[in-house]
């Protein structure tokens, strides 16, 4: 065969290969991605698992996967993996070769450096022939979410005197008996009313028995998290690190309170991720720590209304018997007045100050 015919045949072959890969490279290729856990705490490590399947005879000499994450997740070093970071997002790029009828499962170690709600809505896959003459791209929609809860500190490291106030709440919870809750029977004691007698138990034991009443958990803790740095702040939060510390304080108190049987609510003049309009957070008492931490994870440092006004709205509902813990960087006059109105309605009010640089360095 002469050289011109060899060159011509080679070009035809390359063109044919290019057309084949252009048309069939990503046919019958599936992709899934998931995290080893739906939620994690700040500082924890989890895994992100990728599964790619090539269900055809055509091999893929190269395959590129690209996706974007918000910053806050740190990927460990791994072969054929590149991560480039911008101001808000980081690009996650991986390259590999796939044989025919092959499934690849890749595990990436991810460290959760910052609380938040991390979403991955799509991943772009690109492949082509060995010589780079053709390439085909396809976007795979994903609905992948990861909640990173704020870190929980040692409760006794919180600034005093909040320890003693919080320590009294579980005790106060057990003071009042609920006449509608029965926990069994006990022996009659002088002073018990005849209406409390349990005649069946008395006949069975031969000793006078009365109903043993259970106690109600009518004491509720409301965490009031203020994202204002000062009472004169307007919109922009200038010290995000300080507010993040306040969020960890709120998580620590919620862990203590719910662990001691106290339902815990959350009021915050920040904004929730995916909350739509600029509405503050007003969540009623919850008995699950994950519910509270989920709200704190989704909290954006985006000011909505003054904290004093949020407490005034609470006063309008005439609450009674609640305990309010105000976690704040300042104690402005309007904020103190609103807190006093809550106290006058018969609620407990305490303050947990978020220290600034001056206090921390002192």
- 83-111, pLDDT tens digit by residue? 555 556 778 888 889 999 999 998 889 99
Residue 164 vs residue 152, higher pLDDT = 152
Residue 356's pLDDT is 80
- pLDDT of 1 above 70: no
**Residue 12 domain flag:** no
How many CB atoms neighbour CB 331 within 10 A? Answer: 13
pLDDT at 228 over 80: yes
**pLDDT at 78 exceeding the cut of 50:** yes
Whether 10 is covered by a domain: the verdict is no
Instruction: Give the CATH number, domain containing residue 280.
Output: 3.40.50.410
On whether both 245 and 335 belong to a single domain, the answer is: yes
Predicted local distance difference test score (pLDDT) of residue 180: 44
pLDDT, greater one: 102 or 260: 102
- Asked if residue 190 has pLDDT above 90, the reply is no
The pair phi, psi for residue 41, each rounded to 5°, is -100, 160
Both 59 and 132 in a single domain? Answer: yes
237 & 198 share domain: no
- Integer Cα distance of 339 and 342 in angstroms: 5
**What is the overall mean pLDDT for the chain?**
83
Distance, first Cα to last Cα, the chain? 88
Whole-angstrom distance, CA of residue 271 vs CA of residue 278: 6
Within 8 A by CB and 6+ apart from 333, the residues are 231
Q: Is the pLDDT of residue 294 over 80?
A: yes
11 located within any domain: no
State phi, psi for 162 to the nearest 5 degrees. -65, -25
- Examine the domain organization and report whether 164 and 308 are in the same domain: yes
Tell me how far apart the alpha carbons of residues 280 and 224 are, in angstroms, rounded to a whole number. Answer: 11
pLDDT of 176 > 70? The answer is: no
CB atoms closer than 10 angstroms to residue 252 = 20
- Is the pLDDT score of 117 beyond 90? yes
Q: What is the pLDDT of residues 327-336, one digit of tens each?
A: 999 999 999 9
Co-location of 264 and 293 in the same domain: yes
Do 51 and 117 lie in a common domain?
A: yes
Among 215, 237, 267, which residue terminates a domain?
A: 215
Parent domain of 350: 155-173+217-361
Instruction: Using pLDDT thresholds of 50, 70 and 90, give the confidence band for residue 268.
Output: very high
Query: Which of 44-48, 72-76, 182-186, 347-351 is predicted with the least confidence, judged by mean pLDDT?
Result: 182-186
CA distance 78 to 76: 6
Position 311 scores a pLDDT of 96
pTM for this predicted structure: 0.78
Nearest to 67 by CA among 88, 27, 94, 107: 94
Asked whether residue 211 falls in the same domain as residue 229, the answer is no
CB of 96 closer than 8 Å to CB of 105: no
Q: Which of 18-22, 75-79, 245-249, 335-339 has the lowest mean pLDDT?
A: 75-79
Residue 296 and residue 163 share a domain: yes
Count: domains in the chain: 3
């Amino acid at each position: 065969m002469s050289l011109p015919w060899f060159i011509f045949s080679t070009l035809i072959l390359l063109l044919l290969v290019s057309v084949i890969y252009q048309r069939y490279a990503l046919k019958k290729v599936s992709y899934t991605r998931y995290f080893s856990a739906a939620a994690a705490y700040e500082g924890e490590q989890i895994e992100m698992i990728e599964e790619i399947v090539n269900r055809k005879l055509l091999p893929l000499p190269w395959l590129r996967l690209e996706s974007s994450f918000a910053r806050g997740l740190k990927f460990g070093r791994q072969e054929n993996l590149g991560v480039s970071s911008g101001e808000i997002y980081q690009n996650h790029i991986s390259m590999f070769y796939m044989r025919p009828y092959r499934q690849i499962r890749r595990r990436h170690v991810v460290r959760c450096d910052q609380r938040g709600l991390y979403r991955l809505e799509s991943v772009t896959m690109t492949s082509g022939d060995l010589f780079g003459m053709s390439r085909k791209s396809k976007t795979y929609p994903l609905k992948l979410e990861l909640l990173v809860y704020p870190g929980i500190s040692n409760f006794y490291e919180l600034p005093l005197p909040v320890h003693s106030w919080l320590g009294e709440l579980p005790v106060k919870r057990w003071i009042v008996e609920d006449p509608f809750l029965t926990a069994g029977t006990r022996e009659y004691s002088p002073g018990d009313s005849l209406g409390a007698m349990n005649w069946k138990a008395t006949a069975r034991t031969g000793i006078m028995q009365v109903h043993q009443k259970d106690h109600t958990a009518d004491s509720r803790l409301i965490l009031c998290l203020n994202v204002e740095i000062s009472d004169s702040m307007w919109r922009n939060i200038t010290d995000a690190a300080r507010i993040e510390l306040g969020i960890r304080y709120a998580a620590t108190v919620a862990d203590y309170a719910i662990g001691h049987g106290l339902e815990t609510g959350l009021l915050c003049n920040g904004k929730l991720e995916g909350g739509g309009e600029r509405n503050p957070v007003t969540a009623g008492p919850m008995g699950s720590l994950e519910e509270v931490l989920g709200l704190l994870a989704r909290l954006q440092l985006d000011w909505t209304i003054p904290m004093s006004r949020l407490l005034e709205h609470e006063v309008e509902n005439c609450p009674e018997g609640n305990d309010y813990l105000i976690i704040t960087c300042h104690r402005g006059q309007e904020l103190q007045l609103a807190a006093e109105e809550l106290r006058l309605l018969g609620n407990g009010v305490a303050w947990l100050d978020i220290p600034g640089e001056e206090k921390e360095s002192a």
